[in-house]
Chain A
Amino acid sequence: MPEQPPPEMVTISLDGQEIEVPQGEYIIKAAEDQGTYIPRFCYHSRMKPVGLCRMCLVEVETPRGRILTTACNTPVAPEMIVDTESAVVQKAQEGILEFLLINHPLDCPVCDKGGECPLQDQTVAYGPGESRFVEEKRHFEKPIPLSDIVLMDRERCILCARCTRFSEEVSGDPLIEFVGRGNQTHVITFPDEPFASYFSGNTVQICPVGALTAKPYRFKARPWDLEAIESVSMVDASGASISIETSQNEVVRINGVDNDATNHGWLSDKDRFVFQAIHSENRLATPLIRDDAGDLQPASWGDALDRVADALGSVRGDEVASIGGANNTNEEAFALGKFLRTVVVTPHIDAQVGDALNPEFLAGVTPRAEIGDLDGAATILVWAGDLKEEFPTLFLRVRHAVTQMGAKLIVVHPRRTGLDNIAAEKITYRPGEGPEVVRKLTAQGDQDYGAVRDLLTAGPVIALVGLTGRAEDPRLAEAVAAYALGLPGSKVLPLARRANVFGALDMGLAPTLLPGRVPVKSESGRAELESHWGPLPGEAGLDTAGIIAGLAAGDLKALLLVGADPVRDGRNPDAVRAALDAAEFVVSLDMFLNDSNQQASVILPVDGFAETEGTVTNIEGRVQKVNRILPGPGQSRALWSILDELSSRMGGQLGAGDGPAIAKEIALVAPAYRSMTWDRLEWGPERDGVVMPDRDGVQELRFVPDDSGLRPTAGRLALHSGRVLYDGGTRNTQSPALAGLTPDPAVYLHPRDASALALADGQEVDVAGEFGTVRLRLELDPSLAEGSAYVPANLDSTWVLGVPDVVTVEAQSSKGKKNEKKKGKKKGAGE
């Protein structure tokens, strides 16, 4: 973070004690920092105070004598005298609680909040003990659904406005509001408009009573029998801190943990409810081997590993390739990289599937921004996918920086994004014409985008750079980064979506990288690693696209799929499927069966989220600890232990006996991670994570932008294949709370394009590309750049389309039948 001038300190008297606090701070915060807790319901440190609940009343000396005032919205002033414990204050607190309990039902034993309820706790600590009110309480129908996930019990609501303020101030989708007067005031959605926010779960977490409850946790457990452990969300790569809470060996809830560096305590609903997939009945629990008849049969670990070791040992090392590893911990990724490089001896390793960016850019861009830098930025440039869909918690941080900290926001995207309503400037461009936009921004004396260029003259500039859509040329992001690095005081935050893709790249799961951000082509870096590992392949390997092509051509014989589904994520699904069929041997290490590994020869069940311990690295390069609280289902095992046993069967020595041993080896051989230990991340000030490299770490990798040869897109309609939060991915479909939220697949066209093609809103149309055809409903979207078609990526039917550069959209025709036939064939293949 940029150095901010230290705040001016003032001296106040708190309960007779002189303390120094920053000028302008609210009494409640100043007192809390000094260790004096003032009770509160409506005050939340991450939101603006409103002074609604009156629980935080304190006595302050004024020229008019001592008055009662709310501590949450009264800033401190020099020589202020504050009393938080006087008899008057105590009487006020008792009175407020007695009033709050006039209508609050005492159904605590039924209420999910009972046991961790601020109203319960504060009634015990500050309440009068007895109520004088014997009248009938207010009654409402309970509970009423606000959305598919959140339920509202209006009887319990104490009108603190935390939820309504959150949705207005923080998430920016004000879908709930107070209605009614006096006794009948309650929180409700607007008519016919559900509380369909990506962040609705946060309101449940911050509700100080049990008024808001979420379906996945409803009546599942009581707070006192929960076992909790801190970890990091594995939904996207922003590194949101969470606490995983289990009861009877089952994850029942995930809550956000306030990490100043990453998520400020907020989570998206996907972060919060995706844990249901862990307990899906479709989890793989035993190793599966394909028998001679071609059916998958349960097998023992011994047989399965023997089969894998035999198959991998019977081909040359460089005929083996590996795809995936971006959803695993750093330790698992490191063990996988070491296994492939030293036991199998192959350079063909890639953790990125489909929407890959240059690994040297992702891991090596300098100066790299931290998420906290957003708060000090003058201008924020977002040239990436829709953050609200791909990085929901980062979206909230950008929103915070813009709405609270005064940063100016520029969004560049082919379509509307969640940030548009707070953006100072928006550039909408046709996919494929990104290089042109960069050129116009760079060119001297050009008249286009004048306002944008004016904004970008004010530093510091933080640029969030990633792929806007899957059909985009990945080198565009590098060109944008190169441009952004020339802006005043600029730093770049590279964005790639998968949970631990940055960790995987840092651990060398890339064709061009060795562990610790060392390029394969660096002689000295490779020599140093060889002193630990022995000789290594000196050439860069093939990336995912190259591996697929190599399998199809027969140059590669065997493939490891590590939690990857290249069929769904690939550019050409049919070609990937054909390549997997052509491979002699495919072993999949995964939690679920998916479209890619159903044809695999051997499938090994691995432990996943909440079942493995290790570290992960987020978009900033921040390393955080993830923890284990559950055993995996059935016979599933940790990835590193599978690889360790596999390598001893193949006559190698992996030395990956347990997680801590691997962590020690990472610190030994990975230059950027030299000072990393688990102990540092467990306790103390570095619990929020450490940005690597620090102290003694070095980063040899330097990203050198090269934007030559960006491909232009010719054709009628350029494809924009943006991601949506609730897509058809395995984790979403296996989580009952999220499965129903997947949007209906559709193709979006600009109204002018639609009228040129004589298509009407809502019509069924055939979308055809190079790799496939899909029938979708047409929706008009004036926010979309003209000359492009937006098809959300990886929905139930849209993935068949693949990722062609251009598509044609036409009214239902004979092509539709062809598509159906094709679908039928795929179904047959899957069975």
Chain B
Amino acid sequence: MAGFIGELLGPFKGFATVMRQAFKPRLTRSYPHEMRVKPQRFHGRHVLNRYPDGMEKCIGCELCAGVCPASCIYVRGQDNPVDAPVSPGERFGFVYEINLLRCIFCGLCVEACPTEAITMTQLFEFSVTDRADAIYTKDELLVQADGTPNHGQPDGPLIDLAELKLADGWMRATSPAGRADFEGVPAWTPSAGVGLRPAERGQSDVTESEEEEA
């Protein structure tokens, strides 16, 4: 009997749910006209960064390719031309490809990179009509001289130019060798939206946690 009445009341329960939701704030946005603010550590598309002087940060060490759980990165290094070096040091990333169809956006490549050459931006719009186009080559991944990431449709309605600038493309890596020159110097220059990193400390400094223990 109760079951029967319950069945009769069922549609009204449904209406109640609808009525309740109708007065709550809406989560749906009219994308692409309205863009959502993405979390600061959003794992979007990768970029290859440059130093402020325009040199590429990538040294072709293949650590990103080695750590990649999806095996989607392909890197080949080469001897740096002495007269026109591409990156500081002896070796540069000659070939750099990421297959974004395979990529799982875990960010391990970013963690593995010894020079902070590869970082992730907030870009997420890279649908393609040909599978081959999903393999991003070095030309597409490398940021422009002013640190702006390349994008296939920078003028399209989908792209927010301000968001492009949000890419954490402007970073300067310091050698982790403990060079005295870098003591007390912030490792990152203010990169749009990413903020400052604490200054490099001398290797013999006592850390806070160690102080606490003491």
Interface residues of A (CB under 8 A from B): 105-110, 114, 130-137, 142-143, 218-222, 224-225
Contact = CB atoms under 8 A, between A and B. Distances in A.
Contacts of A132: 203-204
Contact of A219 (B79, B176, B179): B79
Contact of A222 (B66, B78, B176, B177): B66
Interface string B43-78: 000000000000000011111011000000000011
B177 A137 contact: yes
17 contacts: A106-B176, A107-B89, A109-B59, A109-B61, A131-B203, A132-B203, A133-B178, A134-B203, A134-B204, A136-B180, A142-B90, A219-B78, A219-B79, A219-B90, A219-B91, A222-B62, A222-B66
Closest 5 pairs (CB-CB, A-B) = A109-B61, A219-B77, A109-B114, A222-B62, A106-B177
Contacts of A137: 177
A560 B78 CA distance: 43
B183 interface: yes
A110 B59 CA distance: 7
B85 to A, nearest CB: 12
A222 to B, nearest CB: 4
B66 A106 contact: no
Interface of B: 59-63, 65-66, 77-79, 89-91, 114-115, 175-180, 183, 202-204
Contacts of B177: 105-106, 137
Contacts of B202: 134
B199 to A, nearest CB: 14
A219 B65 contact: no
B204 A106 contact: no
B79 A225 contact: no
A109 B115 contact: yes
A222 B61 contact: yes
Given A131-B178, A135-B180, A225 B203 contact: no
B114 to A, nearest CB: 4
B97 to A, nearest CB: 12
Most chain-B CB neighbours within 10 Å: which of A109, A131, A220? A109
A110 B203 contact: no
Contacts of B59: 109-110
Contact of A218 (B79, B115, B183, B204): B79
Contacts of A106: 175-177
A219 B60 contact: yes
Contacts of A142: 90
Contacts of A218: 79
A108 B176 CA distance: 11
Contacts of B115: 109
Nearest to B180: A134
A107 B60 CA distance: 12
Most chain-B CB neighbours within 10 Å: which of A131, A137, A219, A224? A219
Contacts of B78: 219
B176 to A, nearest CB: 7
A130 B78 CA distance: 31
Contacts of A107: 89-90
Dominant secondary structure of chain A at its interface with chain B: loop
B179 A225 contact: no
A222 B179 CA distance: 27
B61 A134 contact: no
A110 B61 contact: yes
Nearest to B205: A134
A109 B179 contact: no
Contacts of B89: 107, 110
A157 to B, nearest CB: 15
Nearest to B183: A134
A220 B91 CA distance: 10
Contacts, number: 56
Contacts of A110: 59, 61, 89-91
Given A110-B61, A143-B90, 20 more contacts: A105-B177, A106-B175, A106-B177, A107-B90, A110-B59, A114-B61, A130-B204, A131-B203, A132-B204, A134-B179, A134-B183, A134-B203, A136-B180, A220-B77, A221-B62, A222-B62, A222-B63, A224-B62, A224-B66, A225-B65
B210 to A, nearest CB: 11
Most chain-B CB neighbours within 10 Å: which of A105, A110, A132, A220? A110
B187 to A, nearest CB: 16
Contact of B203 (A105, A130, A219, A221): A130
A411 B177 CA distance: 55
Contacts of A130: 203-204
A220 B60 CA distance: 10
Contacts of A220: 77
Most chain-A CB neighbours within 10 Å: which of B77, B79, B202? B77
A108 B90 CA distance: 12
A225 B203 CA distance: 32
Contacts of B63: 109, 222
A107 B65 CA distance: 18
Contact of B178 (A109, A134, A221, A224): A134
A110 B79 CA distance: 10
A110 B202 CA distance: 24
A106 B177 CA distance: 6
Contacts of A134: 178-180, 183, 202-204
Nearest to B87: A110
Nearest to A213: B90
A108 B115 CA distance: 12
Contacts of B62: 221-222, 224-225
Nearest to B94: A219
A114 B178 CA distance: 19
A165 to B, nearest CB: 27
Nearest to B61: A109
B175 A225 contact: no
B170 to A, nearest CB: 21
Nearest to A222: B62
A741 to B, nearest CB: 20
A225 B63 CA distance: 10
Contacts of B60: 219
Contacts of A108: 114
B33 to A, nearest CB: 44
A105 B61 CA distance: 16
Nearest to A219: B77
Contacts of B66: 222, 224-225
A114 B66 CA distance: 12
Nearest to B78: A219
A662 B79 CA distance: 45
Contacts of B65: 225
B62 to A, nearest CB: 4
A471 B114 CA distance: 60
A106 B79 CA distance: 18
A109 B60 CA distance: 8
A501 to B, nearest CB: 39
B144 to A, nearest CB: 25
Contacts of A105: 177
A108 B89 CA distance: 12
Most chain-A CB neighbours within 10 Å: which of B79, B177, B180, B202? B177
A516 to B, nearest CB: 48
A136 B183 CA distance: 12
Most chain-B CB neighbours within 10 Å: which of A106, A107, A218, A225? A107
Contacts of B79: 218-219
B67 to A, nearest CB: 10
A218 B77 CA distance: 9
Nearest to B77: A219
A825 B120 CA distance: 65
A218 B76 CA distance: 11
Contacts of B178: 131, 133-134
Contacts of A135: 180
Nearest to A115: B66
